Amino acid sequence: MRVLVVEDEAALADAVARGLRREAMAVDVAADGASALEHIRLTRYDVVVLDRDLPEVHGDDVCRSLVELAEPPPVLMLTAAASVEDRVDGLSIGADDYLPKPFAFEELVARIRALARRPRRATGVVLTHGDLIMDVTRRFVTRRNRPLSLTRKELGVLQVLLEADGAVVSAEDLLERVWDEHADPFTNTVRVTVMTLRRKLGPPPMVETVLGAGYRL
């Protein structure tokens, strides 16, 4: 779990970071709002622990800036004031939870863990053709419910063929899409890869050769 602690008071920031690291979290620290935003832009955090009273850019402003992001991380706001109004304020700005100082460290940990529970990402793109199923994001291919262990190139070739959806794909196209730029244009490796792929796919034959043109499913 990756956490960003935004706190200008160095001693407190350090103490919190150490404690969280002991809880097996990966902790980055930012001392001001600008630096915090920079960090969040560059890294995908599971939770951001944000002190409300920051110099320069206020914690509230940081919070507001986050809504503009595509995937804003959950924010746990820390504040010195413990009044109910502040709590409402914090949450209305966009914080996901609120913890008044001083707090029990154990509670901080518990709330961070609660916030980190994000919805499971659904299984990504799934390509199928007949009894062949390919989960692209998981790099997982099955035929007749039998799992296949394919190498990188085999997987790439198969994916291009599946995306072509029955259209003919030339060997040059495959070279361009599966191999990198400095591939020998006269190589034989595509033919070899297609062969091993066919072998692993097993009968009945699935990859058809179109003479002089390329391959298709």
Partner DNA sequence: GCCGGGCTTTACGCTGGCTTTACGTTTCGG
Partner DNA sequence: CCGAAACGTAAAGCCAGCGTAAAGCCCGGC
Q: Which stretch binds DNA (CB under 7 A): 33-41, 52-60, 136-144, 207-215?
A: 207-215
Q: Which of 122, 184, 204, 205 binds a second copy (CB under 8 A)?
A: 122
Residue 193 has a CB neighbour count (10 Å cut-off) of: 20
8 Å CB contact between 199 and 210: no
Residues 43-102 that bind a second copy (CB under 8 A): 43-44, 46
The reply on whether position 152 binds DNA by CB under 7 A is: yes
Rounded to an integer, what distance in angstroms lies between the CA atom of residue 201 and that of residue 204? 8
| Minimum CB–partner distance for residue 15 and a second copy (Å) | 16
Q: Which is nearer to DNA, 73 or 214 (CB)?
A: 214
Query: Using the rule CB under 8 A, is 146 a contact of a second copy?
Result: no
User: What binding mask, one character per residue, do residues 5-24 give for DNA by CB under 7 A, x or -?
Assistant: -------------x------
Structure tokens at 173: 């196209």
Alpha-carbon distance of 188 to 106, in angstroms, equals 61
Nearest by Cα to 79 from 61, 106, 59, 57: 59
Structure tokens at 129: 């053709």
Q: How far apart are CA 182 and CA 211, in angstroms?
A: 26
Please state the φ and ψ torsions of residue 114, each to the nearest 5 degrees. Answer: -65, -40
Catalog residues that contact a second copy under the rule CB under 8 A: 1-2, 21-28, 39, 43-44, 46, 110, 113-114, 117, 120, 122, 124-125, 136-140, 151-153, 155-156, 159, 165-168, 176-181, 210-213, 216
Catalog residues that contact DNA under the rule CB under 7 A: 18, 149, 151-154, 171, 179, 183-184, 187-189, 191-195, 198, 209, 211-214
